[in-house]
Every structure is written in C-alpha cells, then in structure tokens.
C-alpha cells in the first residue's frame, strides 16, 4: 500500500531490499561498518567489494560509526546508486535511549539522502532483527520520523519501507493506514 504526503509517496512493501530499483537503499549496519548478518550481509553480498572498500575508507578516516549516525557509499553492483549505512540501537529493555537512537537513524538517513540529492529511498526495519527492537515500537518511530522529515523537507519523492518478514509488513501497513 502507499500514501501521498505532500509531494512524497510513502510505500510499504514486503520483499528483499537488495532488489530495490530506487536511487538509494538503507543498510542496518553495525558500528564497524564491515558487514555482518541479516540485511547487512545481504547488501554486501549482492553489492560486492566496492561497498566494503568504501566502508573501510570511511572507517579509516573517521573510525567506528556511532549508533544513530549514518554514512553513505555507492551501491556497487546493486541497482540502487547509493547505500546509506546506519547503526541502529541494540534493544536493552528501553531505558538506554534506544528510542532516541532509532529516531536518529531515520533522521540522519533522510538528511544524508537529501544532502546527496537522492529522490527515492528504500528503508528496512532497522534494529528489529538481530538487535531485537520490539517491532511495533520500532515501526512507530520509523513512520513518525520519516513523515516528520518529509513534512519539513520537500525534496524526497518516494520513501519505501521494505519489510522482510510478514509480521513487520502487517504492522507497517496498519500504521500507515492510520495516516489517512
């Protein structure tokens, strides 16, 4: 399903983000930026060595990527021209700034996309896999943050939330419907 807010189409799909045809995809990375499991592993596998080489360069320059922040590389062998790598918080019960950090991820990805003139972006359900963030709470933050951003910034034309599992897909669909 999708919804138009101002100029921007917000869409929820079920699928594999490495197949996205949009300008940019977001990666749920870790602070090392050197790859891992889950969506990170899939993106590096399909995107190839160019992405890892750029991540290593970024790391050599600025060290680990802190939780909540984001960096950009090209898309290597992916259809997407860019990958924005962000580091979500590990869920530790909710009293360790997890919500703020997760919001920072979405905001910093959107800002970095805007600064790079990106018009369309696919975003996974950051932190809801290996990092165990509760899915309903994470979806609230994801959708609210992105909508707040696009209400203030008009350059993004298409935001696609790519849900890999059925549970996240149903949660996102339900939440987006409420923004009628």
Q: Annotated catalytic sites, by residue?
A: 40
CA distances from 117 to 71, 82, 141, 142 (A): 15, 11, 24, 21
Q: Using the rule CB under 6 A, is 99 a contact of ligand AR6?
A: no
CA geometry: angle at 148 spanning 145 and 153, to 5°? Answer: 120
Q: Does 127 bind ligand AR6 (CB under 6 A)?
A: yes
Span near ligand AR6 by CB under 6 A; candidates 30-38, 65-73, 93-101, 110-118: 30-38
CB of 162 to ligand AR6, least distance (A): 5
Within 8 A by CB and 6+ apart from 115, the residues are none
State yes or no: residue 79 binds ligand AR6 (CB under 6 A): no
Cα→Cα distances 83→61, 63, 73, 116, 135, Å: 18, 18, 5, 11, 23
For residue 154, count CB atoms less than 10 angstroms from its CB and return exposed for 0-12, middle for 13-18, buried for 19 or more. exposed
To the nearest whole angstrom, how small is the minimum distance from the Cβ of residue 22 to ligand AR6?
Answer: 13
The answer to whether 139 contacts ligand AR6 (rule: CB under 6 A) is no
- Whole-number minimum distance, CB 5 to ligand AR6, in Å? 23
**75 DSSP assignment:** -
Query: In the complex, what is the shortest distance from the CB of residue 12 to ligand AR6, in angstroms, rounded to a whole number?
Result: 12
- Beta carbon nearer to ligand AR6, 38 or 155: 38
38 binds ligand AR6 (CB under 6 A): yes
Residues that bind ligand AR6 (CB under 6 A): 16-18, 28-30, 36-40, 42, 88, 124-131, 162, 164-165, 168
């Amino acid at each position: 399903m999708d919804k138009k807010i101002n100029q921007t189409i917000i869409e929820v799909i079920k699928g594999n983000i490495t197949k996205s045809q949009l300008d940019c995809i977001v990666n749920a990375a870790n602070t090392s930026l050197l790859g891992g499991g889950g969506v990170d592993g899939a993106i590096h596998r399909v995107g190839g060595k160019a992405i890892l080489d750029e991540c290593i360069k970024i790391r050599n320059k600025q060290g680990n990527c802190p939780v909540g922040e984001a960096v950009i590389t090209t898309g290597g062998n992916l259809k997407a021209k860019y990958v924005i790598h962000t580091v979500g918080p590990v869920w530790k019960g909710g009293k360790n700034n997890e919500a703020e950090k997760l919001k920072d991820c979405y905001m910093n990805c959107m800002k970095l996309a805007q600064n790079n003139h990106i018009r369309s972006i696919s975003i996974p359900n950051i932190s809801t896999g290996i990092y165990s963030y509760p899915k309903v709470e994470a979806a609230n933050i994801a959708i609210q943050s992105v909508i707040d951003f696009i209400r203030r910034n008009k350059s993004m034309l298409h935001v696609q939330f790519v849900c890999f599992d059925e549970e996240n897909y149903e949660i996102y669909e339900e939440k987006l419907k409420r923004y009628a």
